[in-house]
Amino acid sequence: MIRKFISQLNGGTTIDDIFLVQNKDLRTTKNGSLYIQAQLSDRTGTIDARMWDASTPFFESLGDDTFLRIKGRTEIYQNKIQLIIKQILKTSQEDIQLEDYLPSTEQDVNKMFSELKQIVSSIKQPHLKDLLALFFSDKDFCKRFCSAPAAVQYHHAFLGGLLEHTLSVAKLGDIIAPLYPGLNRDLLICGIILHDIGKISELCYERNFHYSDEGQLIGHLISGVLMVEERAKQIDGFPKTLLDLLRHLILSHHGEYEWGSPKLPMTLEALALHYLDNIDAKIHAFNKAILNDKDPNDNWTNYNRMLERKLFKKSHNYI
């Protein structure tokens, strides 16, 4: 059965789908009967829903489940679409496709991951090669790395965003490395691949994008360094200076103290990583702001607070 997304719903649509339950309450009508008020969502939007003739035992049986199968019918009430629920059923994790409920990359995840592994395999320095092998032979790490967003809001804030961002920056690194003989290509590429791995612990994305407790208390820079240190200990004779250089790449890649960087870039590889990371993030944020602008006929976006400027949308028309 083809899923009906919320943005596709009209009045009078029969519903039998799994939804992400953002919140649900048991309320009382004026005549004293109970009903469930809920807000349901998928990747395309949210919809208000009600289930009449509810009971306390039934409501409590739903527990804290965030994904539920909803059967019912939509109607228009006060010029707004709402869903009248006839039945609520529990569902299993196997039935849930997370990309149906949260923004997801438009790229092919398997293809991107294969491209990144090809870049990983090009590393020649033996200790860095072994380090990356420890990460990418870990199935749980790979699953989380391919699923995680790269941010909550700013750039690549969607499932698969971390992989998409890392691959883009790695490709940029491969392009510039031959142009500057002083750059250690293997160190730069390894640093690029590992610079944001802490985000798999910093960010949560089970029902929306938010920071984990670890993300709030520690942050992805420190989490990433700790992950690298843990694996480097498993490699006999991993040079301390090489580990220091790799830790510096992660700790300094934000580039400025005011951007949360505990260290300024102090090696060529760290400087390159910072600017390549910033290029990809900024271009993605520009494109997102232009794409989401509400007036397609205006040459300019509204003022963008994050980028602190208006953006000209039509430069591609002059090519």
- If one counts every other C-beta atom within 10 angstroms of the C-beta of residue 265, the result is 21
Q: Which residue has the higher pLDDT, 138 or 92?
A: 138
Buried b (16+ CB within 10 A) or exposed e, 168-201: bbbebbeeebeeeeebbbbbbbbbbbbbbbbbbb
Q: For the chain, which residues make up each domain, given as ranges? A: 6-95, 102-291
| Model confidence band, residue 271 (pLDDT cutoffs 50, 70, 90) | very high
| Model confidence band, residue 65 (pLDDT cutoffs 50, 70, 90) | low
| Model confidence band, residue 2 (pLDDT cutoffs 50, 70, 90) | confident
**CA–CA separation, 297 and 282 (whole Å):** 24
Mean pLDDT of 82-88: 94
Mean pLDDT of 40-52: 89
pTM of the model: 0.81
C-alpha closest to that of 175 among 157, 160, 158, 188: 188
Topology annotation, domain 102-291:
Hypothetical protein af1432 (1.10.3210)
| Model confidence band, residue 307 (pLDDT cutoffs 50, 70, 90) | confident
Topology annotation, domain 6-95:
OB fold (Dihydrolipoamide Acetyltransferase, E2P) (2.40.50)
User: For residue 45, is pLDDT > 90?
Assistant: no
| Model confidence band, residue 19 (pLDDT cutoffs 50, 70, 90) | very high
- Determine the pLDDT at residue 319: 63
Q: Which residue has the higher pLDDT, 101 or 228?
A: 228
Highest mean pLDDT among 30-34, 89-93, 124-128, 257-261: 124-128
Q: Which amino acid is at 264?
A: L
Burial class from Cβ neighbours inside 10 Å (0-12, 13-18, 19+) for residue 275 reads: middle
